[in-house]
Each structure stands twice: as structure tokens, then as C-alpha cells.
Structure 1
Amino acid sequence: MRAHNDMATARVSQEERFRVAAEVLGMLADPTRLALLRLLAAGEQDVNTLAGQVSASRSSVSQHLGRLRLAGLVHVRREGRRMVYRVVSGHLSGLVDEALEFADHAVRGIPHHE
């Protein structure tokens, strides 16, 4: 019976991993959110600083950061009157980097790695 339970737990865990991964990839499917995560990988930044680096308004950047926060992909802390954001994981930063590397190959016609 234990082997059956272990397999059921492994299956649920695997399904949960795929579900969470799909949700994360869905959040990365927006160019502005992808750009924000790329910028935050370099370190903490506030909304105004981020808005000055992407082609989006301050309110749009704030909304995207709110979505990323609700999805658990960024942390926020108050620093005086400013809200400062940071990416939650080096794994997420690596995922963003890999997606951009893949895009570079596709856009520039560079053969993909085997």
C-alpha cells in the first residue's frame, strides 16, 4: 500500500510542479513584465526607477509589479515613502536570462545549442 501512496504523491507533486511552472511562464509571457524581472535581477529598484527604464508608464509598471507580487515572483518592502521591489529567486532570474538567450538566437538567426 505504501508504494501506491508514494506513487500517488509523486504524481500529484509532478502535476503541481507543471501547474506552477506554467503559471510562472504565463507571467513571463508579457514583454513589460519580462523586462521588469530582467531589471530586478540586477538588484532592488523602485517603481519610478523601473518606469524610466522600460517603455511603459509609471502606472502601468506599478500594475505589472502588483501582478508579479501577487504571483509571488517579486518581494516588496517599504523604504520611507518608496516601495522597493526585488526578484524572489535566482532561479527566476536564470529563467528570464535563458528565455532572452533563446530569443536572441531566434531573432538573430543564430543556430540553437544542441
Structure 2
Amino acid sequence: MTMVHAASSVLHVNEPVAMSAAACMFRSLGDPGRLAILRHLASGEHRVVDLTAHLGLAQSTVSAHLACLRDCGLVSSRPHGRASIWSLAHSAQLMELLASAERLLAATGDAVALCPTYGETALR
């Protein structure tokens, strides 16, 4: 994998390392609950209690998902009294990635959902 630098020089990247990092990022996005949290945070900052109310998930589940997303650098928090306010860390890039995923899903139709390895009925 190569990346073109702004000065038109080519920067060589260790492809196995880059692919591993990309796979790790996609695994962090591979849970419907985490994707729902990201979608809610795209509309603005939220507290855990707000996310639990909006998503119908347990507080412990939301907190665990937020910790995963924070550890992956996708969300950040700031203290607000006794609570934390959560937001997207890289909003523009993340929304661009999710929009691209939606376009790809539209192009592939039901193929991903029907995939015997990773689809909705796959044995995990």
C-alpha cells in the first residue's frame, strides 16, 4: 500500500501493519450497538444516560461500547459535573466512512446480510 504525500513524493507503508490496523478499526465498527452510538453522537454530544434512553441498551452495555470506541480513538469525553459528555473524535472522517459504507451496502444489496460467513444467520 502506498500513499501519495502532498509534495508528490511516495511514502511506502508497511502493508501488513496497515491492513492489520484497518481490520482492527473495522472490528471496532462491527457491532450494531456501537454503530447506533456513533449515529447518535453524530447529532451532537450525549451522556451515557441519554444514550441508554435513546437506544434501549443497558448502561453497562453503552459504557462498554463507549470504552471500546474511545480506546480506538473514535469518541472522546469531557467531564460535566458527575457525568461525562461523549462526542465523536473525528466526526467528518467517521461520517465519510459510514456514508461510504452505506453506498457500498446499497450497491451490494443483500449480499452482506446473506453471506454464509459474516451474514445475519452465520454461525459465530
- The TM-score normalised by the length of structure 1 is 0.74
**Cα 1:104/1:56, change in 2 over 3 Å:** farther
- Give the structure 2 partner of residue 3 of structure 1: none
Q: Give deviations 1:7-39, integer Å, cap 9, x for gaps.
A: 8x6132x44433322211111110000110111
1:17-32 to 2 correspondence within 5 Å? 17-32=18-33
- Give the structure 2 partner of residue 76 of structure 1: 77
Unaligned runs of 5+ residues in structure 2 are: 1-8, 111-124
- The TM-score normalised by the length of structure 2 is 0.68
Find the aligned partners of 1:103 and 1:93 in 2 and give their Cα distance.
15
Q: When the two structures are aligned, how many residues end up with a matched partner? A: 100
- Give the structure 2 partner of residue 58 of structure 1: 59
Q: CA deviation at 1:99?
A: 2.4
Unaligned runs of 5+ residues in structure 1 are: 1-5, 108-114
**Cα 1:102/1:50, change in 2 over 3 Å:** farther
1:35-50 to 2 correspondence within 5 Å? 35-50=36-51
Q: Do the aligned residues in 2 keep the contact of 1:87 with 1:93 (CA within 8 Å)?
A: no
- Pick 1 or 2: higher relative contact order, CA cutoff 8 A, min separation 6: 1
Percentage of identical aligned residues: 32
Structure with the higher fraction of residues in helix conformation: 1
Q: CA deviation at 1:100?
A: 3.6
Find the aligned partners of 2:99 and 2:41 in 1 and give their Cα distance.
12
After superposition, the CA RMSD in angstroms is: 2.3
2:57 aligns to what SS in structure 1? Answer: coil
